[in-house]
Amino acid sequence: MRDHRLAPLRQGYQALKRLTLFLAYARLDASGQNPNWATMAFTPPPPPPPSPPRFHPISPDGETTLAADVLVVGSGAAGGVVAATLAGAGHDVLIVEQGEYLDRADFIGREADMMPRLYLGGGVLATDDLEVMLLAGGALGGGTVVNWMASLRAPADVVQEWATLTGMAEFASSPMQEACAHVEGRLSVGVGESPDNPNNAALLRGLDALGLPAARIPRNVRGCEGRCGACGYGCPHGGKQSVLETFLLDATKAGARLLVGTAVRSVCLKGGRVEGVDATWTAPDGTRKDVFIRAGKVVLCAGALNTPAILLRSGIASPWLGRGIYLHPTTALSARYAQPIRSWEGAPMSVLSHAFAGRNGGYGFYLETAPGHPGLIALAAPWDGADTHRSFMNDAAHMADFIVLARDRQGGRIRVRRDGAQLTYRLGDDTLRMLKEGLATLARVAFAGGGGDGGDRPLRTPAFRWRERRGRL
């Protein structure tokens, strides 16, 4: 199935492989452990400390119509800032979130429990051909709850390109930079709490050995202390300054209301003016209710996947709607070191190199690291049979996980299907070339930094290895 000439069989293989291997290494047995963790030397994060809920979402029980001055659809990076700003200015704001509300005490760090609750599509969302996996936040707080806290401004040349291509000089304006600085200040963005775990230290060591520039990654943290490393499954200590810790708190303190478990189907228009939205609320017990939310102003902050889908379902006519979805495609290389790495511990990202960002006319790539946890490593790891895969996983504690992140020139397209949004996306030839060049560069970085004990393996299917001979790969 993996190598079959028919695409549907290859896609079926990917779906089966990813789900099976994730569950094999993430699910817990009756004793509350996974039998594979001991051989991996994996220690799960400790239970979160007790913490009372800080938000109190409203419930539409008994009501089918709600109202607000401003309705903000989505509670992530965009929705949180918009809601806090408007509520602080005195507007009656209602924030609608499709996912559920989880807070510090709910973030137990276990993949099998957290992935279905915190990620869109249960963490197995992918493009229509299953070639590219999409990790997107799907609970209150959106992507800010599950991201790895790298807080990088868009490069100045990219911002200027946006301004030129769109004719919107505001992209490169002083007010835009001031707005970025305001957000960074509220999120405590800085490099003061970016210690290098062994994974990032290995990348830095290899970059230094090759004379490649490295930079510290600013992170939105305060009081993190690198206590666990399960940052992709919510922060139980409140160190990650997600919107749950910042802008959503600001919004609700200013009077904004929250409605969770509510999927917006479409925006209601009459005579060219917005009247509100049609939505479906799902109760904790699974029962559903249709809800109409009346609002004269609706701000769609449902992300790059769901915002265009809502507009398409609303009958908005535009030839560009749903087009131009960019992913910054990423692939990984795993390098074995003699000393333990344990990429699941400590700050996920603290080091990067943008030495190759200018390649391909400004559409080059970054070199970074990625945190690994058993389920995620297992589903991404190459499959050449059970014994090979098991050997790879048993070496995971000694593996550093590096990633190459490319800037894609060709975007994808969102279409609406009965079961939701569907993304069609194909890698362009030049983007694929940059990813290959990035992998080769990472192999050199790994060898230069003392890695390569047992081979360097891109996390792909099928597997292949690089070996160093006479100073060359």
> ω before 57 within 30° of 0 (cis)?
no
pLDDT recorded at residue 471:
55
Mean confidence (pLDDT) of the chain:
92
Please answer whether residues 406 and 364 qualify as being in contact, where contact means their C-beta atoms are separated by less than 8 angstroms: yes
Mean pLDDT of 453-471: 60
Band (466; pLDDT cuts 50, 70, 90): low
Kind of pairing between the strands at 273-282 and 288-300: antiparallel
Give all domains of the chain, ordered by start, each with its CATH number: 187-220+326-473 (3.30.410)
Question: Residue 238 above 60 pLDDT?
Answer: yes
Band (225; pLDDT cuts 50, 70, 90): confident
Band (438; pLDDT cuts 50, 70, 90): very high
Task: Give the residues across from 417 on adjacent strands.
Answer: 420
Reported pTM: 0.92
Q: What's the burial of 32, exposed, middle or buried (CB within 10 Å: 0-12/13-18/19+)?
A: exposed
7, 220, 309, 311, 379 from 417: Cα distances, Å: 20, 36, 9, 13, 27
pLDDT recorded at residue 72:
98
pLDDT recorded at residue 467:
64
Which residues are CB-neighbours of 446 under 8 A, at least 6 positions away? 202, 206, 333, 335, 400, 402, 452, 456
- DSSP per-residue string spanning 409-429: SS-EEEEEETTEEEEE----H
Other C-beta atoms within 10 Å of 256: how many? Answer: 23
9, 13, 125, 240, 361 from 18: Cα distances, Å: 14, 8, 11, 28, 35
Q: Return d(Cα 130, Cα 413) in angstroms, integer.
A: 15
Tens digits of residue pLDDT in 23-76 = 999 999 998 899 999 999 999 988 999 999 999 999 987 778 999 999 999 999
Tens digits of residue pLDDT in 337-374 = 999 999 999 999 999 999 999 999 999 999 999 999 99
- Phi, psi dihedral angles at 430 (to 5 degrees): -70, -35
Tens digits of residue pLDDT in 385-416 = 899 999 999 999 999 999 999 999 989 999 99
Tens digits of residue pLDDT in 98-128 = 999 999 999 999 999 999 999 998 888 899 9
Please answer whether residues 329 and 431 qualify as being in contact, where contact means their C-beta atoms are separated by less than 8 angstroms: yes
